[in-house]
Structure 1
Amino acid sequence: MQQDPDVIARPPEALIGDLNPQQAEAVQYHGPALLIGAGAGSGKTRVLTRRIAWILTQFGAWPSQILAITFTNKAAAEMRERLSSLIGPVAERMWVSTFHSACVRILRRDGDRIGLKSGFTIYDTADCERLVKLIASDFNFDVKRYTPRQILARISDYKNNLTGAKELLAQYAPDFRPGTRGYHIGRIGNVEELYAVVYAEYEHRLALANAVDFDDLIVRTVELLRTQPDVAAYYHHKFRYILVDEYQDTNHAQYVLIRELAGVDAGEHPSPDARGAGRVGPAWITVVGDSDQSIYAFRGADISNIQDFEKDFPNARTIMLEQNYRSTQTILDAANAVIAHNEGRKPKKLWTSAGKGVPITGYAADTAQLEAHWIAHEIKRLHEEEGVRYSDIAVMYRANAQSRSLEEGLIQAHVPYQLIGGTKFYERREVKDALAYLQAIVNPADAINMRRILNVPKRGLGARAESIVTMYADEHGLTFWEGVEQADRIEGMTTRTLNPLKRFADLMTGLRAFAAEHDGQPSQVVARVLRESGLLDELSKSTDPQDQSRVENLSQLQSVAAEYEQNTPDATLVGFLETTALVADFDQLPDESEDSGKVTLMTLHTAKGLEYPVVFLTGMEQGTFPHSRAMEDASELSEERRLAYVGITRAKRHLYITRAAVRAQWGRSSEMMPSQFLDEIPEGLIDWKRKEAGVERMRAGWGRGSDDDWNATLDEFGDWDDDSMGTTYGGSSYGSSSHGSSSYGSASYGSSSYGSSSRSGSSYGSQAPRFGSAARERTSSSSSSGNGGAHFTYGTSASPSRSPRFGSSSASSRSGKVTTRKAAPKPHAKPASSLDRDNRLDINDFHVGDKVSHDSFGLGTVLETQDKGRNSIITVDFGSDGVKRLMLRVAPIEKL
């Protein structure tokens, strides 16, 4: 096999000389199937690019024979850049792209074979939601009960599993025919019928609009390869080496796509060519991934794809990369310890030659607000005293809702930050409007975008005009655009509506002609659209300051088009629209090497693939992280543990882990137990600055009846000297559940309101009292009541027997009423609250295999015991009710 003369010849030593033994073995492997188990920070991108260079220079393959797939444009660009440095400019001609980009390229070439015209539109989430809303309006079902997002999530699941609309209709709604107007779903509450009908109609309307959604890019490519043997044969012949990055994140449809492209199931025998894959038989497949970092099951990722790779390819070789080049050994030991609790995983233990490093820093705060307060001031200290750049610090959390208190803490401490996950550039209204014009120019059949721009900017074509054109088009089997073109034929059309419709038709016809003449200059097309549509003029004349920023966004869009032109030799308007449509969330993350001067806030799911010298992993509580959904589902708990593994391994030098004893949920304050993941990290790895929250020590003090404990806790509260930070404490019922509460065995958190709420409905914030000297002065002034100096305030949702809110002022509860009482117990007396109840059960009396009876869950078997003193926990398998972790002192159980 002759090597491509454009490929820079590299001696073997230049490609493997600086690699460790496992990396070098993976690069050189000669065989049809290879799984590289690449642990976090183990240099997988380096191995993948070196393997491609090795295949080209040592196996004699041509660049056109290689398909390299990854998940983001950013990762693909990095891979291409590294390849350019290894093999020269020829790398720019290779198929190094995302799944979706590769599929667009295939469908543009051969999609007409399955009914897709080359100018098809790619709908984003907003477009798809708009389409579902139109279907809901026609079929008259409640979008509040069945939201477009909920329906689209189900449709996405169908597509990820390659389940077609026809087979669902046959099962649930055999009488429905897509395109039927005024169809009413027969059996109210039959959600499967609803999903089947909407899915089928959704697909029908996508086809009419010559449009696809993101999932379709994979699904339609699989359809093309399965139904058109000559097309499949072309790609089997073309791609002899297929390499897939982040294989653990693939869904079923992507898994099938890889097999179809490689010709695995085509029935051909492997090539006898000893040098490589040759021209006969399936392509050679290399997949790179880490089952311990599979965290996208909610998006359809199927971890079994990587776990079963050796079953799918019996002759496969697996090489594990365990040497880490990112983190200290302390951080890796913590990650190894946590992930080791997941069953069924291939053993892997990360190690580094970088040394032990500093201990992990732990902190237990009383509330989410005080957790944020401590984090903000610790970040400020790191910056001012240790010289750590703000851009080298990331704060990570399980759910977006946690960002609010963190943002408030950073603002109060005057720490600059950037929040990842806000409104993305291509989702901003003015940018979407401009792109809708471009999509409608390229694909006039696209009714969603054509209808979006009909009256943008306002031109006297409101909902009535849109409805008249839509009805006419439907009745005559036309697209919406064709209805606009034939507006003068519509009966009852008034001059007042007809004239602006004609002007709109003339505008779009003119823009289409201009775009056809300047197809290789998308930036000029963008400029013409912005000017002639009136979008730019309307915003420029506005006195609203926000509209000025929108003008800047439109300017940025034109700059993006110009940049695309400069970087793309065969630039086209369709190609530009593809680049904007295929930008993933991850592609909009800031460059790690760039000093933004700001701390980064992001969810753990967003953080995958990134690294920072300093990472704060927050909200380490049961019900927060792991999420409450995982409490009764073993597979979800395993995924949460993988997410913890990802979070821990983002840190390079210093990891912080923090938790709050009390957190607001659904407008109520919930008692939170420490995350089980904290238990799984060896104690010697964590330096706890504060291991127990003050409220936890207070309860322990009440239980022991010690005045010294009480006074010591109050003295600790006195150390907080930020007047803007306050907290409210009160009772929490462990016995019953409520909306939004997270179940932890028999204990339900969030079932009662702590004291009272502020105007925002939260029990915390600037209105809440501050513990410290002022608090002690206020309680002292109440001594005349004979209560030992404690002044207790209760909200209406809490009975007088519930735990107190410390402070002097009462506030309104959710109902707006206020009830104030003075309590009689001495400070060290235990409050009459189920929060502090104790069954007097001893953890030493429980052993693995013991049988217990639970008031709600029935008979169970003890799987694990954890001696945590007063907060000891047992894990029990209740059969059909699942596995529960129970706090021994509050669980209604009896040992049998």
Structure 2
Amino acid sequence: MTGEIQLTDEQRRAVEHFTGPLLVVAGPGAGKTRIIVERVAHLMDERGAEPSSIVVITFTRKAADELKERIIRRVGGRAEEMQISTIHSFCNRILRMYPDHHPLGSNFHVLDEENQLMFIYEHREQLGLGNVQRERFPRIQAFFSECQENMVDLETLIEHHRRTGARKFEMTVAEAYQRYLNLMDEAGLLDFAGMQWRVVRLLENDRKVLDDLRSRYRFLMVDEYQDTNPIQERFLELLAGEECNLFAVGDEDQSIYGFRGSTPENFLGFEKKYGAEVVMLEKNFRSVPSIVDVTQRFMDGYRKYPKDIRPVRDSENRVFILDNPTHQDEPSNVVEIIRALVDHGVIPHQGYVTLLFRSVKHDAVEIMNELRREGIPFNVYGEGGFFDREEILYIMHLLHHTRRERRKIIRKLKYEHLEGEFMDLTPGSVNLILDMDEEELRGLREYREFREAGFTDPDDIRKLVALNSLIDSDLGVLERYYEILELTEYPHRLLERGDDESREKLYNLARFSSLIKDYERVSSEPCVEGLMEFIRMAMSRGVKKYDQILLENPYSVNMMTMHRAKGLEFPVVIICSVFNGKLPRKVQGRSELELPEELRRSTIRSDVMEEEEEEEEETEKEERRLFYVGMTRAQDMLIISATGNHRGRLGYSEFIEDLIESSRITSDRLGRIDPEDARIEIIKNSCQVEDIETREIFRISFTELNTYLTCPFRYMLLYEYGFDVPSTRDQLYGMAVHECLRRINRRLMRGETVTDDYLQELASHALRDIEMSPDGFRAFISKLKRYLDEIRSRASEIVSAEKPFSILRDCFMITGQTDLIIRNLEGGLELVDFKSMSGSGIHARDIELQLGVYRHALNLDFDGFLAYTFEDSEWHEIEPTEDMEGLLEDVAERIRREEFPPRENELCSLCIFHSICTSLHGKLEAGSGEEDDLRRAFRALDPEDMDGYVEAIEGITGYLRDSSDPEVRARAADYIGEAGDAVALDALREALSDPEEGVRIAARRAIERIKKAQRALKENYRTLICGRDFFRPKKIHTREGQFVVCRVCGHSKFLEDGVEEVVGIIGDEEYSWRQEDRLFISMWDEESKRARNADIDTLWVTDSDNMDYGWAINAVYQRLKNDVTRAKPLSEIPVTIRGDPQISEEEIDILRRFGEIRIG
């Protein structure tokens, strides 16, 4: 394996390491990600390790996604069996793997840091913090997390406070800590730190779970190990066990997250604690020699592990310190350098340049203003500013206006916010509003009242009446938000304009919908007033999650913090504002809320460290490491902007002095330049890296894919812009059903019993957020029991429950997970998807597509594909879509081209974006005559409307052949395939030459469906067809010999030798003992040459107590009437009625369309 890849000797040592602990000390640009990927391949290919035994941990979701992509490219689909994720995701998975071993089960939700703060502030009264100033809540949140990260229980904390004489506020927060944990448990919520603590306690207290995980996960690989905190280190220690195949990769020089609880102690003590081998990766593949040399000298003397980092690249470039006369000169000098680099061809465009700051929010404003003045575009990350955006102020004011309380919550919101484009009111209406008292305006309700108040514009009055009606509304906050968007038609106008400014506004409006959804999730009684209270607190503290969204441009200058830049690399880096007192930042005193040092849990004994480091000294070292991280992001050029006169404070940053002193003997590497010389000196450098504009992998889940196929416009709003929408009861119910079935299947996989008591507890937990009557709950339990009986009788083995998959191609990646894979009683594999509805509610095309994607991704040899509908406890045989590769590539390319047209379907009227869609595109029925006619033709295929069937098929075929709209042609092909009628096969074959790929794909899909629908009638042996849905015939399973078996329901029929008659039977007790409302037709083809001509000699109608004869007779008639393989006309097939079936005159009329009716 490693012979195919160029590796250094040290890299090879790391890659080929097999068992036992290993510490990989990887300097900047050392290729550590490559090492992780190659070691994964080596473990599988050379050491025979099972993919499922390998865990790879990273510290950001983006890093995990990118690493997974690289591993998939290296080892293929086997990567799906690995655990590649953040440590938070891994802990989440463990809790969901063992729901019966901890109180939360699996129906819990994990809050990120911002939502954790929202929860604390929303429940401040219950926590006993009602009188605490809102500015203190972010620190309270950090304290709660710090306690959990160090595994501190309430008793220990209180006892310490009493012993040391803590202040009243500290004691109040300590008491709130336990209330917080209790409230979170009651709500089924976990924060990040709490989730990790919960897992550690599970592993410490449940030996069975610990042993199971250790046997399952034998090889642990952790990237950025220096960023672990105490609870994470304890988790990894427990999981590694005595075997301790722990592969830790990191760099003490890049430990910069002390404010999050991370400590380099875990990394520095790893060798001694575990007796680990150490591999040093000291070759830098990223940066030119001057950058490597200057940064190396800067860190010498501040490391435990001495490094001799050597560059692989060659260049004569120098590192420059830009010496600004004062801090006020920095913006113009930095911008002048950027312009010079482009003007003299050193870089092809400004996108090569990245400006790094200690804080973008506090340090970058003047440089941003200078860039704007000079017309240089820029991308800014981490600026904040979300709540200051114009459109956000507008929507906040309008929501605030609809509150029920008279009290004004956010005083920053004024009626001037009604003056802009959001409400789009006329100047006359705006002037009237500005002259009115707020409560006077809020008190108006009727159209007449607004007229009497002086309003004259009808559209303005309509909007204001609709807005004020929300004051009295019982709508949830998110539903209210969408009502405001609808009545203002603001999104419609932004979409219509379509420029970058409008798109940015839509992105930020979408983010505001997420904020509301988060708030509704954490609040027990969500209301506008509560949301506004949280926003008021967030505005005062600048919650980081709610940075404004600005569109990225690859040709623009990038601006970000050094913390954010960690793990990235850029051709040209300018570190700005390296001023005395700013970088390094002056060490602050202790916070009023800090976990006492003696309660901080260090997994490394104090004697591991060469000397005990004081907190202040460690903070200074972290500042140095932060600056080092910033400098080592540079590939070709590094410029450090400094001044000796920062706001009257004389003297340079000590880091500048250290750089000059440490590089004094190598002045060819470091140059100190005045602004006047900057242009001349810097343009002597070169930039060798390739163009940085690359085509990123397009990632999409199956849910997103299906949404796009249903309606691209809805996909755009949900997944491109990111609008969050209110959860419906059906969605919550569906999640509860899936959760229950998943847990049942997992127990069965482990050989554990499923008792009635367990089902009761399981259902109670899963349905916690759903209102349900006692009768409804009992019915739910009954359905769970039926499923349990069904799966036991159908499966000899449950192979997997919720198996993840991915499909990776050059430009896109599709991810998802299956519901269930079983081995049937005959030993074949079957793929099952669960639907919480009944069989009549499933849409054939959707489920065929879904199982087609799953089959394509898993690449396994399945004997069957099934949908299990929970409401009626039925199994449905499905024929998956065949041509998945072309479909997936077509969808991915359409999304890349930003093709998001609306597509009408039966759910349009229920869609929350319906008003926006119709405002923008008009009513789809009226706007597309062909679409409307095509839809009506398809509806004419209903089995109840038998006379119009042929005419409807011909009409649909006409659209396939003649429409000029490729969307209509593709839809027509889909309709024909859904009907399963072979009459239109010729037209479908012609469509295989259609110039549009989408039409060709739809035609191929339809042809395959029709062929499969007719396959049962072409097979040369006895078959029994279970025909509940004759309009879409089911696939048939048969056995050689005298027995014929229906695969769908499991019924069988013994046929005597020599029987040549083919009989259709409705309602016979012999066949309906288990599923009385089922319908069976037995068919026998006596000659193999006549496989296309199944002879049906007699239709039998027999007595049955539980038969819907009207439906069944209609279905049989429709099925036989449209069967192109039928040899006899209907008028030659006699009907025999036996017993006394309850048949109406209308049904007798249908039977008369057959041959002679006999009684007997």
Normalised by the length of structure 1, the TM-score is 0.56
- Structure 1's 539 and 164: CA in aligned 2 closer, same or farther, altered over 3 A? farther
The corresponding residue for 1:537 is 486
Helix, strand or coil: the match of 2:314? coil
The corresponding residue for 1:648 is 631
The corresponding residue for 1:834 is none
The corresponding residue for 2:1057 is none
Within 5 Å, give how 1:594-673 maps onto structure 2: 596-629=554-587, 633-664=616-647, 669-673=648-652
Q: Which amino acid aligns with 1:13?
A: G
Within 5 Å, give how 1:398-547 maps onto structure 2: 398-400=358-360, 401-423=362-384, 461-462=404-405, 504=474, 534=483, 536-538=485-487, 540=489
- Structure 1's 68 and 134: CA in aligned 2 closer, same or farther, altered over 3 A? same
- Structure 1's 392 and 691: CA in aligned 2 closer, same or farther, altered over 3 A? closer
| Post-superposition offset of 1:228 | 2.1
| Post-superposition offset of 1:126 | 3.4
CA distance in 2, matches of 1:33, 1:413: 55
The corresponding residue for 1:159 is 148
| Post-superposition offset of 1:291 | 0.7
Residue among 272, 289, 292 paired with 1:332? 292
Residue among 306, 312, 316 paired with 2:267? 306
Deviations 1:286-345 (A, max 9, x none): 01101111111111111011100111111x110000001000111111111110131x51
Residue among 325, 346, 351 paired with 2:305? 346
Superposed CA RMSD in Å reads 4.3
Within 5 Å, give how 1:681-692 maps onto structure 2: 681-683=662-664, 684=667, 685-690=669-674
| Post-superposition offset of 1:532 | 10
CA distance in 1, matches of 2:403, 2:284: 62
Deviations 1:9-61 (A, max 9, x none): xx4422xx411111111100133111111110000000011001101111111
Query: Is 1:66 paired with 2:54?
Result: yes
CA distance in 1, matches of 2:672, 2:403: 65
| Post-superposition offset of 1:205 | 1.6
CA distance in 2, matches of 1:196, 1:642: 33
CA distance in 1, matches of 2:390, 2:95: 29
The corresponding residue for 2:332 is 373
The corresponding residue for 1:321 is 281
| Post-superposition offset of 1:109 | 2.7
| Post-superposition offset of 1:198 | 2.2
Deviations 1:789-834 (A, max 9, x none): xxxxxxxxxxxxxxxxxxxxxxxxxxxxxxxxxxxxxxxxxxxxxx
- Structure 1's 550 and 211: CA in aligned 2 closer, same or farther, altered over 3 A? farther
Query: Is 1:51 paired with 2:39?
Result: yes
Q: Which amino acid aligns with 2:486?
A: D
Q: Which amino acid aligns with 1:534?
A: E
Do the aligned residues in 2 keep the contact of 1:166 with 1:200 (CA within 8 Å)? no
Deviations 1:588-631 (A, max 9, x none): 99999x96111111111111111111111222233221111189
CA distance in 2, matches of 1:87, 1:322: 27
CA distance in 1, matches of 2:13, 2:391: 51
Query: Is 1:143 paired with 2:132?
Result: yes
- Structure 1's 431 and 406: CA in aligned 2 closer, same or farther, altered over 3 A? closer
Query: Is 1:104 paired with 2:65?
Result: no
The corresponding residue for 2:314 is 355
Helix, strand or coil: the match of 1:147? helix
- Structure 1's 29 and 431: CA in aligned 2 closer, same or farther, altered over 3 A? farther
CA distance in 2, matches of 1:142, 1:283: 49
The corresponding residue for 1:23 is 11
- Structure 1's 110 and 616: CA in aligned 2 closer, same or farther, altered over 3 A? same
- Structure 1's 456 and 62: CA in aligned 2 closer, same or farther, altered over 3 A? farther
The corresponding residue for 1:678 is 659
Deviations 1:630-673 (A, max 9, x none): 89932222212211221111111111112123334xxxx43343
Helix, strand or coil: the match of 1:207? helix
Deviations 1:361-420 (A, max 9, x none): 222112222012101111011112225121111111223311122212322332211111
Max Rg structure: 2
- Structure 1's 428 and 346: CA in aligned 2 closer, same or farther, altered over 3 A? farther
CA distance in 2, matches of 1:39, 1:587: 33
Deviations 1:447-488 (A, max 9, x none): xxxxx9xx9697665599x9xxxxxxxxxxxxxxxxxxxxxx
Residue among 68, 78, 81 paired with 2:69? 81
CA distance in 1, matches of 2:388, 2:246: 36
CA distance in 2, matches of 1:121, 1:543: 34
Query: Is 1:202 paired with 2:191?
Result: no
Q: Which amino acid aligns with 2:563?
A: H
Helix, strand or coil: the match of 1:633? helix
The corresponding residue for 1:733 is none
The corresponding residue for 2:237 is 259
CA distance in 1, matches of 2:630, 2:402: 51
Question: Which range is displaced more, 673-682 or 24-33?
Answer: 673-682
Q: Which amino acid aligns with 1:160?
A: E
Within 5 Å, give how 1:278-293 maps onto structure 2: 282-293=243-254
CA distance in 1, matches of 2:66, 2:392: 27
- Bigger helix share: 2
Helix, strand or coil: the match of 1:628? coil
Identity %: 29
Do the aligned residues in 2 keep the contact of 1:641 with 1:677 (CA within 8 Å)? no
| Post-superposition offset of 1:81 | 1.3
CA distance in 1, matches of 2:318, 2:502: 49
- Structure 1's 532 and 134: CA in aligned 2 closer, same or farther, altered over 3 A? closer
CA distance in 1, matches of 2:394, 2:141: 22
Q: Which amino acid aligns with 2:233?
A: Y
- Structure 1's 312 and 591: CA in aligned 2 closer, same or farther, altered over 3 A? farther
CA distance in 2, matches of 1:244, 1:539: 50
CA distance in 2, matches of 1:417, 1:97: 32
- Structure 1's 407 and 595: CA in aligned 2 closer, same or farther, altered over 3 A? closer
| Post-superposition offset of 1:124 | 3.1
CA distance in 1, matches of 2:169, 2:479: 43
- Structure 1's 618 and 687: CA in aligned 2 closer, same or farther, altered over 3 A? same
Residue among 173, 192, 198 paired with 1:214? 192
Helix, strand or coil: the match of 2:200? helix
- Structure 1's 113 and 671: CA in aligned 2 closer, same or farther, altered over 3 A? same
- Structure 1's 463 and 254: CA in aligned 2 closer, same or farther, altered over 3 A? farther
**Higher RCO, 1 or 2 (CA under 8 Å, sep at least 6)?**
1
CA distance in 2, matches of 1:94, 1:134: 39
Q: Which amino acid aligns with 2:646?
A: R
Q: Which amino acid aligns with 1:657?
A: I
